[in-house]
Amino acid sequence: MAKSLTSSSEKIGLSPGSLIHVGEVFDNDTVITLINYDATTLEEKVISSVEEMLPYRDKSSTTWINIEGLQDVELIRTIGKAFKIHSLVLEDILHTHQRSKFEDYENYLFMVVKNLSLGLGDFSIEYEQISILVFKNFIFTFKEKPTLLFDPIKIRIQNSKGRIRKFSSDYLAYVVLDTVIDEYFSLQDSLDELMEQIEDELLLSPSTETLNTIQHVRRELIFVRKSISPLRELLSGLHRSDSPLIDEKNRRYFGDVYDHALRVIESMESYRELITGMMDIYLSSVNNKMSETMKVLTVFASIFIPLTFIAGVYGMNFEYMPELKMRWAYPALWGVFITVSVGLMIYFKRKKWL
Amino acid sequence: MAKSLTSSSEKIGLSPGSLIHVGEVFDNDTVITLINYDATTLEEKVISSVEEMLPYRDKSSTTWINIEGLQDVELIRTIGKAFKIHSLVLEDILHTHQRSKFEDYENYLFMVVKNLSLGLGDFSIEYEQISILVFKNFIFTFKEKPTLLFDPIKIRIQNSKGRIRKFSSDYLAYVVLDTVIDEYFSLQDSLDELMEQIEDELLLSPSTETLNTIQHVRRELIFVRKSISPLRELLSGLHRSDSPLIDEKNRRYFGDVYDHALRVIESMESYRELITGMMDIYLSSVNNKMSETMKVLTVFASIFIPLTFIAGVYGMNFEYMPELKMRWAYPALWGVFITVSVGLMIYFKRKKWL
Amino acid sequence: MAKSLTSSSEKIGLSPGSLIHVGEVFDNDTVITLINYDATTLEEKVISSVEEMLPYRDKSSTTWINIEGLQDVELIRTIGKAFKIHSLVLEDILHTHQRSKFEDYENYLFMVVKNLSLGLGDFSIEYEQISILVFKNFIFTFKEKPTLLFDPIKIRIQNSKGRIRKFSSDYLAYVVLDTVIDEYFSLQDSLDELMEQIEDELLLSPSTETLNTIQHVRRELIFVRKSISPLRELLSGLHRSDSPLIDEKNRRYFGDVYDHALRVIESMESYRELITGMMDIYLSSVNNKMSETMKVLTVFASIFIPLTFIAGVYGMNFEYMPELKMRWAYPALWGVFITVSVGLMIYFKRKKWL
Amino acid sequence: MAKSLTSSSEKIGLSPGSLIHVGEVFDNDTVITLINYDATTLEEKVISSVEEMLPYRDKSSTTWINIEGLQDVELIRTIGKAFKIHSLVLEDILHTHQRSKFEDYENYLFMVVKNLSLGLGDFSIEYEQISILVFKNFIFTFKEKPTLLFDPIKIRIQNSKGRIRKFSSDYLAYVVLDTVIDEYFSLQDSLDELMEQIEDELLLSPSTETLNTIQHVRRELIFVRKSISPLRELLSGLHRSDSPLIDEKNRRYFGDVYDHALRVIESMESYRELITGMMDIYLSSVNNKMSETMKVLTVFASIFIPLTFIAGVYGMNFEYMPELKMRWAYPALWGVFITVSVGLMIYFKRKKWL
Amino acid sequence: MAKSLTSSSEKIGLSPGSLIHVGEVFDNDTVITLINYDATTLEEKVISSVEEMLPYRDKSSTTWINIEGLQDVELIRTIGKAFKIHSLVLEDILHTHQRSKFEDYENYLFMVVKNLSLGLGDFSIEYEQISILVFKNFIFTFKEKPTLLFDPIKIRIQNSKGRIRKFSSDYLAYVVLDTVIDEYFSLQDSLDELMEQIEDELLLSPSTETLNTIQHVRRELIFVRKSISPLRELLSGLHRSDSPLIDEKNRRYFGDVYDHALRVIESMESYRELITGMMDIYLSSVNNKMSETMKVLTVFASIFIPLTFIAGVYGMNFEYMPELKMRWAYPALWGVFITVSVGLMIYFKRKKWL
């Protein structure tokens, strides 16, 4: 999880703008998918070189190139040349520690977002950087590794369902952003469940285990927030942008994604507050338990210590201890023992310690 | 209560803009009420289809359609078509996890607010999303379920009392918002009471029960704030809006609702600070109790342990212990016992432990 | 004190804009004072009806109507009609739970401020809402109850001292605001004293009493801040307002009140931080005391428990215990007792526990 | 130190604008120094009346009037009349509880700053209000009491060193502000030292003394911040001001002072965070010590209590206790004693308590 | 480390603008390196006087003067004269306690940044001020001491690799800033490692050592943030600046550095939150340990104290104690001993203390 923070210095000493893949390396080949569609036609194929893209560049139908895997730096460089992409953009695509951002270049829009998905095991989150390049009728998406994230979009295009086939690359960009942010909601659901579970544990049997889970969730939330909060900027930038690449009619859609993003960001803030509250509960439960232990000790010690003293007194070996000779002394002493202990028990009962 | 956070991912994988009801499902039929009025005439009826609304669309009198229940997606879709409502708006009406918001479309204004009402039992809050669509002379309100919330408005319209019958749909929108926000004040009153009760408990007999109540209220406050705070934006947007749908004369009224909303938001902030303070009090009360227990233990132990030692000494079986033979030794020892214990009690009295 | 938060829902279900007094009811008759003055003439009288005000309406001299007591709703309504005051303004005057605010109407300015005065007893604060209506040459002030607050202003007008008689209603509005805010400074002085007292208590003998005072002050500070902080907005609004009702020359005066208000608000913030610090001190003093108790217990127990064990050993009744027969054994054992206890005391001395 | 907060209500009930000295009264006569200079000439004298200033009013050389002591209200009033100073400005000069501020009047600029100097004894800070009035070729500085603060400026003017003699009153104002803010840096140095000392104490031997110092510094920091933070506003106001009294070339200098002020303000923020961290350290050191005490007690008690029980068993006086008769029983029991205690010690060693 | 805060008052009493080196003094000679290049030619030499720079002043090729060491005030003064640099700028170069800042002078741009590098030993950070003066075709960099920081830049220029040789001084300024900020990332990596190490320690064996490390890191983070956060301002100033010295095409590059700076600043914020969480964990671990100790004590004491009392009873010397005569009494008592202790152990087992 700390991956998003480490290795950021790998590139130190290199020329700014020199292309090299910085980030976690996934052991898979780069997969390039090309989808070309308009309202009536549809073509989908896996391609392996930049040359295959070029014929689609000037078509009036919409072309979506989805690149999964960033190991092949040469490929990115070639695309950069063919589509006249600024070297800083290429660099940002390859360095997967970017903040989410939106940049408005003359011929294209550039967006970076983070896809957050639940990993296996104890609430661990996997971060993937998704870069989007929106040209007129052409859209690139760059993913770090092949996942099923975009499958529903592809199916929707294939089914010719919804507005998607009638609109151009800007609408597709919206759909991609919407898909990524929808993923955050499922993260949120799983967080919800985890939170409830922690709360139950806190009420029933708080343990250091619980504390570790709390700290783990807190840690994750810090990084999630760090990844998600720049979205606000990104989307308001996109919403305000007067780029001719965004159709006036589609502007509302980005406003909608903005609302969703705000909703997620605010939920994350709420979770952080809840987690802080849980920490307090945990601390006070530890103190409560200590206080309970203390009471048990105090009750036991306070009742028996005086009795032991009295017994000790009559265990002394003085020659002249008149009580020792008296017949009723021993039973009387038992009376004393009982009286003292009952008296103390009433006292502790009153103090609500029993 | 966590409902407002869960289930948000139900729609994942669906086309954005595809209509489906997302949120808690209430088991009741959809009830559509139509109220048509101007200064002199008034008509109120329960209708069951969109066709019945259409004749009122172009009337100069004001028509209010109140729809309670969102299960009937087809109904919403038909209204959408008949009144040319943007598909994103229809979606927002059906997905009841929206943030409160205001959107200014060309022919209509769209607002989403949250109605917060006290549920039964231990300070549990029920959230209901209310969507308002303001056309010229036409207003829609969408509620998740039938409640009595709007009854006072209806009665006022019937009684022809107040300004309400003389003004158009924008004033009615104001009245609806005002009604929803007034509801927050009753929530606030019940919070007030609860806070006072917690404070009393904290002073008299803090228990883990109290802690749970504090955490429960804290939790609720986090979600209430999350629901209420976007109102600020909504209302200032409405106030600044230059939509021709809002009569210049009525603009002040929205300013008034804005003031009320600010007041509620600020109160909620105050409660949060109070709750934090209460948590501190609770923690220090636990520590205080522990400290008290400690003192009792220390006083008992410190007085009797030395005495027990002395008694132990004269319980030893050495042959040559001259004291054992002395006649006055036993009473003298009692003198020692009393002196030591009185001395220690004075010492503890000085330390203010007794 | 919590009054400012309670009862806010009394009006729920009423038409917005319907006039009814919402707030604490004081058992006193409404007192209306009229003061009419210019640089040379002065007239002051108690009046009982709106009709008596009307002749002054168009005079070029300045008229100040001070209304103390808000039970008489009919009076407010009549004034509203006679002076053409917006119904929302009348409502705000009567609902004494308003936020401080400034509103710029065409013919008049409307301000609401809170007067905070020290009540009797343990630092309890009394809130009173003061509404100010500034017309050209005419000013209304509405108070919840008769107090001496405005007496110095009256005296100044009577004495023809200072600038007050030469200026019109805007300057008088400034004087009223200045008087209200000066009152905050005396509140601040009394807080100062209380804070110092709490700090002394914390150093000398912190008790749960101290904790309660701290929490009480914290609570009051939260509500004071809630009442005072909207002043910033009010006064900057007033300062920026381009209403012809405020003479350009007098604008500086409102800037001066703004400075004072900022000063009070900042002081309140400082107090809140101080109070938070005091809470920490209190908590650590509880822990410190517990630590002290612990040391006493540990020293007593650790010294005597081993000794008691040794005494116990020689209290055993074994037949073959050679030490019991030795003449020097008993005194030698005392040597052991003394050595052990002195040794332990040196050990504890080194640990700085004695 | 709390002086800056107390006595603020002294003026309550007075006409706003009535001149009276509000603040701490220093027992010294008012000293007025006049320095008149241009690039070539220099005149310095102590004067005693306003009349002596007047001849310099229209000279083209720069005149600096430094007034130390504010008891002589009449003097301030006379200056006010002679130089046409707004009555609110005179009031602000005399009421030494002002926030630092900058006001741009038509003929002059008015600034209030706070001089913070270290008093004797335990890090106590003395506050002095310095008011600056900048006219064309004329500058007034008002101090509460005579100090050496401005001596270096005088010396520089005398020595005709640096730019100071070539520039007019605006540059002199800059020099005065720079001198005051430089003083903050020496305060900062002494804070630095104190912080380091507290940190050392916390590591070596934290005591309630340390806690008191921490709280004392925290308190002082709250007030220092309250005094210093309005400087940001003051200096950015000055920097943005388009007053003809500030030469375009000198504007950079005020920007420089602004940078210094920011630096001090940020350092104070850092100190506050450090202090909060120290409080945490202190609290955990108290808890740590308690935990240590606990361990000592537990080790002693847990080892000797079982042994004492065993000794107690063989101190019983039953007739039929076969062990008592056995020859090897007593030495065997010693074996048991040693085994038990060594076993427990190993156990505690494993728990790292020894 | 506290160096960045100390000694700031050294200059007090001096004329503002008087040149003197304020800051840590490094014992090394000042090294001046001159690099002159354009796309085709390259000259690099170490020079020792300002005169050697002058011939390059008006060349169309780019000249970079790197000055390492600030002891030679005369040198700075001479450069200032030769290049007409404002005296405040010279001052800022020499006083190495500046905030990072950007100033736009007519003929040149002035930037101050802080280079943060890891010192040897326990995560200590070394601060170095780097001042950059950007003229048309001419750039000065001032460092406090000779380090290898700029070596990669020199190598890149020598190798004629990348864009660097084709662009002018503004691009070089970008490269310098980028290099400094890249250094922050390696700092971040080492922080990452340290954080992980602390977390592991907290889980396995928290000690006061751990606490000291936490406080140390917290302290460093406070100062790092103080050094880094003004970068936001600097870079957005640079980005917005319309100075002709920055080529429109290069503006994007500064935007890129801005993104990097934001990333570092946000990471530092995340670390601060993590550290706060760690402090909480530490505190609760101390409390947990105390609670454990308490349980051991309570279990031991509560089991053996009642037993010891019973043994004490039968150690009493009363003549008439019938039990003492009974044959089965002693073994029966052992039964009691075992029953009581087993009963208590079951009780503690149920309480989960064993």
Interface test with C, best of D8, D97, D103, D104 (most C CBs within 10 A): D8
DSSP states of D194-259: HHHHHHHHHHH---HHHHHHHHHHHHHHHHHHHHHTHHHHHHHHHHH---TTS-GGGHHHHHHHHH
pLDDT at res. E28: 75
Chain E residue closest in CA terms to D351: E293
Q: Is the pLDDT of residue E108 over 60?
A: yes
DSSP code string of A22-57: BSPPPSS--EEEEEEE-SS-EEEEEE-SGGGTGGGT
Q: Please state the rounded mean pLDDT for residues D84-108.
A: 91
Residue A195 touches partner E, C-beta closer than 8 Å: no
B308 and B273 both lie in a single domain: no
Mean pLDDT of C179-186: 91
Which residues of chain C lie closer than 8 angstroms to B301, CB-CB? Answer: 297, 300-301
Cβ of E318 and A312 within 8 Å?
Answer: no
| Angstrom distance (rounded) from CA C300 to CA E215 | 36
- Around Cβ D210, how many Cβ atoms within 10 Å? 21
- CB-defined contacts D:E, below 8 A: 157
**Do C138 and C183 belong to one domain?**
yes
- Taking residue A169's Cβ as centre, other Cβ atoms within 10 Å add up to 24
Please give the pLDDT value at position E162.
65
How many H helices and E strands in chain C?
9, 7
DSSP codes joined into one string, D89-143: HHHHHHBTTPPPEEEE-SS-EEEEEEEEEE-SSSS-EEEEEEEEEEETTEEEEEE
ipTM: 0.79
Residue where one domain finishes, among candidates C238, C255, C284: C284
Crossing angle of helices C251-313 and C208-228, in 10° steps, is 160
The 8 Å CB, 24+ separation contacts for B239-246 are B241/B102, B241/B104, B241/B109, B243/B104, B243/B109, B245/B108, B245/B109, B245/B134, B245/B135, B245/B136, B245/B169, B245/B170, B246/B109, B246/B170
Q: Does E160 touch chain A (CB under 8 A)?
A: no
String of DSSP letters for B217-275: HHHHHHHHHHHHTHHHHHHHHHHH---TTS-GGGHHHHHHHHHHHHHHHHHHHHHHHHH
Q: What pLDDT shows up at residue A249?
A: 84
Question: How many CA atoms does the CB half-sphere of A13 hold within 13 Å?
Answer: 6
Cα of E288 to nearest chain A Cα, Å: 7
Distance from CA of C320 to the nearest CA of D (A): 6
Write down which residue in A244, A265, A284 finishes a domain. A284
Contact B302 C315 (CB under 8 A): no
**CATH number reported for the structural domain that contains residue A95 in this entry:** 3.30.460.20
The residue among B278, B282, B330 with the most chain A CBs within 10 A of its CB, best to mutate, is B330
Task: Kindly report the average pLDDT of chain E as a whole number.
Answer: 87
List chain D residues with CB under 8 Å of C283: 283
Asked if A230 and A301 sit in the same domain, the reply is no
Do D37 and D82 lie in one domain? The reply is: yes
Task: Tell me the chain B residues in contact with residue C90 when contact means C-beta distances shorter than 8 Å.
Answer: none
- What does the pLDDT read at residue A178? 92
* E302 contact residues in A (CB cutoff 8 A): 296-297, 300-301
Mark whether A57 and A158 lie in a shared domain: yes
At residue A337, the pLDDT reads: 94
Please tell me the predicted confidence (pLDDT) of residue B33: 94
Closest CA to A128 of A202, A62, A70, A196: A70
Interface test with A, best of E289, E305, E354 (most A CBs within 10 A): E305
Amino acid letter for position C37: Y
What subunits touch chain D, counting only 3 or more CB pairs under 8 A?
Answer: C, E
Identify residue B35 by its one-letter amino acid code: I
What percent of chain C has pLDDT above 70?
A: 94
Q: Is C210 on the interface with B (CB under 8 A)?
A: no
Residue B316 has a pLDDT of: 92
Point out the residue among C192, C256, C280 whose CB comes nearest to the CB of D6: C192
Phi, psi of A70 (to 5 degrees): -120, 15
Verify that B274 and B303 share a domain, yes or no: no
Provide the pLDDT for residue E158.
87
Q: For the CA atoms of B210, B211, B212, B218, what is the dihedral angle to 10 degrees?
A: 110
List b or e across C265-297, with b for residues whose CB sees 16 or more CB atoms inside 10 angstroms. bbbbbbbbbbbbbbbbbbbbbbbbbbbbbbbbb
Rounded Cα gap, residues C299 and A338, in angstroms? 30
Residue D252 banded pLDDT, cuts 50, 70, 90: confident
- Fill in the DSSP letter of residue A63: E
Query: What total number of domains does chain D contain?
Result: 2
pLDDT at A3 over 50: no
pLDDT at E248: 85
Confidence of residue D3 (pLDDT cuts 50, 70, 90): very low
B166 contacts chain C (CB < 8 A): no
Chain C touched by B5 (CB under 8 Å): no
* Contacts with A347 (C-beta within 8 Å, 6 or more apart), sequence order: none
Q: Do E302 and A296 touch (CB under 8 A)?
A: yes
Kindly state the tokens that stand for D238: 């000055």
Can you tell me whether residue C137 is helix, strand or coil?
Answer: coil
E177 closest CA partner among E79, E85, E105, E101: E101
> For residue range A36-49, what is the model confidence (pLDDT) as tens digits?
998 888 999 999 88
Could you give the count of Cα atoms lying within 13 Å of A67 in the half-sphere of its Cβ?
A: 22
Determine contact: D282 vs chain E, CB below 8 A. Answer: no
Classify each residue of B320-329 as buried b or exposed e, where b means 16 or more C-beta atoms within 10 Å of its C-beta: ebebbeeeeb
E49: distance to nearest CA of chain A, Å? Answer: 30
Burial class (CB in 10 A: 0-12, 13-18, 19+), B129: buried
Which of D9, D300, D337 has the CB atom closest to C305's CB atom? D300
Cα–Cα distance list, A232 to A102, A262, E239 (Å)? 10, 7, 21
Among candidates D256, D301, D316 on the partner chain, residue whose Cβ is nearest the Cβ of E88:
D256
The rounded distance, in Å, linking the Cα atoms of A66 and A34 is: 6
The model carries a pTM of 0.84
Phi/psi-derived region of residue C220, left when phi > 0, alpha when psi is between -120 and 50, beta in every other case: alpha
List, in order, residues 6 or more apart from C49 with CB less than 8 Å away. none
Our CA-based measurement puts residue E25 at a distance from the nearest CA of chain A, in whole angstroms, of 28
Length of chain E: 354
- Are residues A307 and A278 both part of a single domain? no
Enumerate the β-bridge partners of residue C36: C43, C63
For residue B267, which residues of chain C lie inside 8 Å, CB to CB?
A: 5, 226
Q: How confident is the model at residue E337 (pLDDT cuts 50, 70, 90)?
A: very high
E contact residues 88-147, partner A, Cβ 8 Å cutoff: none
Per-residue DSSP letter, C22? B
> Which residue of chain E is at minimal alpha-carbon distance from A312?
E312
Q: What are the pLDDT digits (tens) for C207-244?
A: 888 888 898 899 899 989 989 999 998 998 888 888 88
In chain C, residues with a C-beta closer than 8 Å to the C-beta of B259 are: 98-99, 101
Q: How far is E189 from chain A (nearest CA, A)?
A: 6
* pLDDT over threshold 80, residue A141: yes
- Whether the per-residue pLDDT at E144 is higher than 80: the answer is yes
Same domain, C229 and C199: yes
Min CA distance, E329 vs chain A (Å)? 16
Question: Which region among B295-309, C73-87, C116-130, D250-264 has the lowest average model confidence (pLDDT)?
Answer: C116-130
Quick one: what percent of chain D has pLDDT higher than 70? 94
CA distance B263 to chain A (A): 21
| H-helix or E-strand spanning residue E326 | none
The top-scoring range by mean pLDDT among A162-176, B135-149, E17-31 is: B135-149
What pairs with residue B133 in β-bridges?
B110, B140
Nearest C-alpha in D relative to C186: D9
pLDDT at residue D170 is higher than 70: yes
List phi, psi (to 5°) of C111: -130, 145
Q: Which of C284, C309, C324 is the last residue of a domain?
A: C284
Residues B196 and C13: beta-carbon distance below 8 Å: no
Instruction: Tell whether D249 and D338 lie within a shared domain.
Output: no
Euclidean distance between CA atoms D84 and C166, whole angstroms: 19
Instruction: Decide if pLDDT at C95 tops 60.
Output: yes
d(CA B127, CA B119): 9
Q: Are residues E96 and E237 in the same domain?
A: yes
C-alpha to C-alpha distance for C171 and C79, rounded to whole angstroms: 22
Residue range D238-247: mean pLDDT, rounded: 87
Cβ contact D80:D90 at 8 Å: yes
Position D1 scores a pLDDT of: 37
Q: Which residue has the tokens 């730096």?
A: A73
Confidence grade of residue C162 (pLDDT, cut at 50, 70, 90): low
- Per-residue pLDDT averaged across C300-309, rounded? 92
**Which 3 state secondary structure label does DSSP give B308?**
helix
Question: What stretches of chain E adopt beta strand conformation (E)?
Answer: 31-37, 42-47, 62-68, 101-104, 109-118, 125-135, 138-143
Chain D interface includes C148 (CB < 8 A): no
Are D186 and E9 a contacting pair at CB < 8 A?
Answer: yes
Nearest CA to CA, how far is D14 from chain E (Å)?
A: 42
Q: Does A233 touch chain E (CB under 8 A)?
A: no
Chains in touch with B (3+ beta-carbon pairs under 8 Å) read A, C
Asked if the Cβ–Cβ distance from D293 to C288 is below 8 Å, we say no
For A296-316, write each residue's pLDDT tens digit. Answer: 999 999 999 999 999 999 999
Structure tokens at E159: 């190798």
Q: Are both E48 and E132 inside the same structural domain? A: yes
* C324 interfaces chain D, CB cutoff of 8 Å: no
Q: Which pLDDT belongs to residue D17?
A: 54
Give the model's confidence band at B241: pLDDT under 50 very low, under 70 low, under 90 confident, else very high: confident
- C53-91 pLDDT, tens per residue? 999 988 889 999 999 999 889 999 999 999 999 989 999
Give CA–CA dist B127/B228, Å, rounded. 11
d(CA B102, CA B88): 13
Portion of chain A with pLDDT greater than 70, in percent: 94
Considering only CB atoms, which chain D residues are within 8 Å of C203?
Answer: 212
- Among B232, B296, B327, most A C-beta atoms within 10 A, so best to mutate, is B296
Structure confidence by residue, pLDDT tens digits, A202-249? 888 888 888 888 988 998 999 899 899 999 989 988 888 888 998 888
The token pair that represents A80 in the structure block: 């950069």
Interface contact E44, partner A, CB < 8 A = no
Cβ atoms B62, B44 nearer than 8 A: no
Q: From E195, which residue of chain A is nearest by alpha-carbon distance?
A: A2
Question: For the sheet containing B138-143, what is the strand order?
Answer: B42-47, B31-37, B62-68, B138-143, B125-135, B109-118, B101-104
Same-domain status, A341 and A278: no
**DSSP state for residue E27 in the 8-state scheme:** S
Check which CATH number belongs to the domain holding C320 and give it. 1.20.58.340
Residue in the structure block whose two tokens are 């390196």: E33
Q: Compute CA distances A226 → A5, A118, A269, D210, E271, whole Å.
A: 11, 17, 11, 37, 11
Rg (CA), chain D: 34
Domain that holds residue C304: 293-350
Choose, out of C148, C280, C344, C351, the residue to mutate when testing the contact with D (most D CBs < 10 Å).
Answer: C280
Question: How far is B11 from A188, CA to CA, in rounded Å?
Answer: 13
